[in-house]
Amino acid sequence: RKEVEQDPGPFNVPEGATVAFNCTYSNSASQSFFWYRQDCRKEPKLLMSVYSSGNEDGRFTAQLNRASQYISLLIRDSKLSDSATYLCVVNTPSGGYNKLIFGAGTRLAVHP
């Protein structure tokens, strides 16, 4: 079983739709959590950190449930420019330092 698992996608949605991505992680010692965005043939870029209290950044809302080891990302009012792969990322202790573990990513395609 992979350490970080995500919805496989792809998600094909019309502009203006609300879409939600889910992610689970297996290491209960994981300390911090992120969503990265990766455009086709580009490097991953940090979209937002995820906190237990839930956090919002414009149209994006991220939530963390430590008890269930579950992370989510909600995108409201989807734009064409939101089309990308969204990577769930978990920061996990490993040998005295922290290591980022990436999910395989969920592809989102927003169409007119």
Partner 1 sequence: GAGVSQSPRYKVAKRGQDVALRCDPISGHVSLFWYQQALGQGPEFLTYFQNEAQLDKSGLPSDRFFAERPEGSVSTLKIQRTQQEDSAVYLCASSLAPTSLAGAGNTQYFGPGTRLTVL
* Contact residues for partner 1, defined by CB under 8 A: 4, 31-32, 42-46, 87, 91, 94-105
Separation of alpha carbons 98 and 81, rounded Å: 32
**Least distance to partner 1, CB of residue 92, Å:** 10
**Minimum CB distance to partner 1 smaller for 96 or for 112:** 96
**Least distance to partner 1, CB of residue 85, Å:** 9
CA separation, residue 18 to residues 41, 59, 76, 107 (Å):
25, 9, 4, 15
**Minimum CB distance to partner 1 smaller for 44 or for 84:** 44
